[in-house]
């Protein structure tokens, strides 16, 4: 039996040289695998196209995506430890808390009142059971014609798609959330854009009144957690529409969904 390859180690906030080299190798491989607009360019395009009145971002961190909001948009940024000093506009608010707490402890109702989100972006904790919960929460407080985007849904390889972080270039297993949604929610339109660094999902056809039981989500999460990476990725590409990384193609996809909506 051959020895398993060594894993990069993260100790006391310092990555070793081997891990840094691997990070650059992964980055170059992702650039080659995903030519065209990157995910930040897509988010800017979506803000300009959708012109949301209300926007929600789960996982703000350094604010690179949160700062793309339009000046007229009412924006909510949720992150337990945001690393930005202040919101990018006067209409944006930061909530330094876990997303579960924001939605379940009443903050969402207080902030929104009778309003609902038109656009949401999920880029928080990179484990797929949390991504599923974030989607369920966000859908409940969104308009039926809203768009929810999810980052890190087309991982470069198995090494970067682990629930526990082993590499600097890391997506977690967020991609598995799309398999749960495709299985339990055939009413949704689930698509993915192969953009750098690790893909972006677009989910439309929302139903804020959906009553899928939480136990069904939990069972699906448990089942997909046991599926090998290669098998899960093959299933994702079979069940989810992978769109060209082109603005015109995605504009056509979104327009088609709008025409099909009841």
Region 98-110: mean pLDDT is 96
pLDDT digits 0-9 by tens, 134-179: 999 999 999 999 999 999 999 999 999 999 999 999 999 999 999 9
Q: Counting runs of H as helices and runs of E as strands, what totals does the chain give? A: 9, 10
Contact 240, 177 (CB under 8 A): no
Q: Distance between CA 46 and CA 135 in Å, rounded? A: 18
Q: Which residue has the higher pLDDT, 227 or 257?
A: 227
Tokens in use for 219? 């069972």
CA angle, 254 as apex, 65 and 46 as ends, to 5°? 20
Q: Which residue has the higher pLDDT, 48 or 262?
A: 48
Tell whether the model's pLDDT for residue 262 goes beyond 80. no
Where are the domains positioned within the chain?
17-260
17-260: CATH topology: Rossmann fold (3.40.50)
> What Cα–Cα distance (Å) separates residue 9 from each residue in 27, 107, 162, 165, 198?
18, 38, 14, 9, 22
pLDDT digits 0-9 by tens, 9-67: 444 456 788 889 999 999 999 999 999 999 999 999 999 999 999 999 999 999 999 99
Residue 168's SS3 state is coil
Tokens in use for 113? 């009142």
pLDDT digits 0-9 by tens, 199-210: 999 999 999 999
């Amino acid at each position: 039996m051959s020895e398993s390859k060594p894993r990069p180690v993260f100790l006391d906030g310092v990555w070793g040289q081997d891990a840094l080299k691997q990070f650059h190798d992964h980055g170059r491989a992702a650039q080659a695998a995903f030519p065209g607009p990157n995910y930040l360019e897509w988010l800017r395009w979506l803000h300009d196209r959708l012109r949301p009145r209300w926007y929600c971002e789960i996982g703000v961190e350094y604010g690179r995506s949160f700062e793309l909001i339009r000046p007229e948009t009412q924006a909510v940024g949720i992150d337990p430890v945001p690393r930005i000093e202040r919101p990018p506009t006067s209409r944006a608010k930061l909530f330094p808390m876990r997303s579960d707490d924001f939605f379940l402890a009443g903050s969402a109702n207080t902030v929104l009142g009778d309003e609902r989100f038109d656009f949401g972006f999920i880029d928080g904790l990179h484990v797929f059971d949390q991504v599923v919960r974030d989607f369920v929460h966000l859908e409940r407080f969104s308009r039926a014609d809203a768009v929810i985007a999810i980052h890190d849904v087309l991982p470069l390889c198995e090494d970067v798609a682990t629930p526990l972080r082993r590499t600097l270039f890391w997506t977690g297993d967020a991609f598995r959330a799309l398999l749960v949604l495709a299985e339990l929610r055939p009413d949704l339109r689930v698509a993915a854009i192969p953009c750098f660094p690790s893909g972006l999902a677009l989910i439309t056809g929302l139903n804020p009144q959906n009553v899928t039981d939480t136990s069904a989500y939990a069972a699906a999460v448990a089942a997909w957690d046991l599926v090998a990476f290669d098998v899960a990725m093959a299933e994702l590409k079979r069940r989810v529409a992978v769109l060209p990384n082109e603005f015109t193609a995605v504009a056509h996809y979104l327009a088609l969904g709008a025409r099909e909506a009841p």
